[in-house]
Structure 1
Amino acid sequence: MDALTNMPSLPPLATLATLQPGELPPAPTPDGAGGFGDMFRQALLRVDAAQHEAARQAEAVETGASDDIVGAMLASQEASLSFSMLIQVRNKVMAAFDDLMKTNV
């Protein structure tokens, strides 16, 4: 249980909400001090930025500000795949945690 108490925690949602779309937190240090939490947080913010960009491009096509429908569709698919991949990673981590908790010591 000591390893769980030493894990870095994610910032509050209010802190994440202040970031502008596409803005990422500072990269973790190269020595790996950031940990899995920081890496997952950055992935979450990148997926969020991709979804915002896809929505912006779709809105530009809908309002006539842009005629790049292919680019909007590609951005939408990329955001969708990024979100699906993030959910799969989360599911794998949760399954591994559940397996770990079921392990007899």
Structure 2
Amino acid sequence: MKPIMQVQQDMLDRMNQLKELSGAAIRPAEQIQGQAPGGLSVAFEAALRAVDAQQHEAGARMAAVDSGRSDDLVGAMIESQKASVSFSALVQVRNKLTSAFDEIMRMPL
């Protein structure tokens, strides 16, 4: 086991890395570079793929910790929480889009 001071230093280093990356995972559609214009469906598909990639990364890190190939439990838990928050945000966006579509369908002609 690592001494407590080493664990604390590792956690501080991870927190500093996350500060540098904040906001890099999910961005508004107009800020996504290198994509052909396609509107909402292209942006939503890109967000869906990003969340899927985060889920796979978190799963791989947790599997590595579970199998003993890695002792980076803190990193695995952080990745798991990031994936969870990203998924929750994606579900909320989907629910808002669905309710907006339902409202449009209920409008009288």
TM-score higher than 0.5: yes
Which runs of structure 1 show a deviation greater than 3 angstroms over 4 or more consecutive aligned residues? Answer: none
Alpha-carbon displacement from aligned partner over 1:10-69 (angstroms, at most 9, x marks no partner): xxxxxxxxxxxxxxxx9423xxx2211011001001111000000000011111111110
Structure holding more helix per residue: 2
Identify the match of residue 50 of structure 1 among 51, 54, 66. 54
- 2:45 counterpart of 1:41: yes
Structure 2 alignment gaps of length 5 or more: 1-32
Match of 1:61 in 2: 65
Q: Is 1:28 aligned to residue 51 of structure 2?
A: no
TM-score (norm 1): 0.69
TM-score (norm. length: structure 2):
0.67
Q: Secondary structure at the match of 1:93?
A: helix
Q: Which runs of 5+ in 1 are unaligned?
A: 1-25
Q: Secondary structure at the match of 1:104?
A: coil
Q: Does 1:77 align with 2:84?
A: no
Name the SS of the counterpart of 1:72 in structure 2.
helix
Taking the aligned partners of 1:43 and 1:56, their CA distance within structure 2 comes to 20
Structure 2 residue aligned with 1:6:
none
User: How many residues in Structure 1 have an aligned counterpart in Structure 2?
Assistant: 77
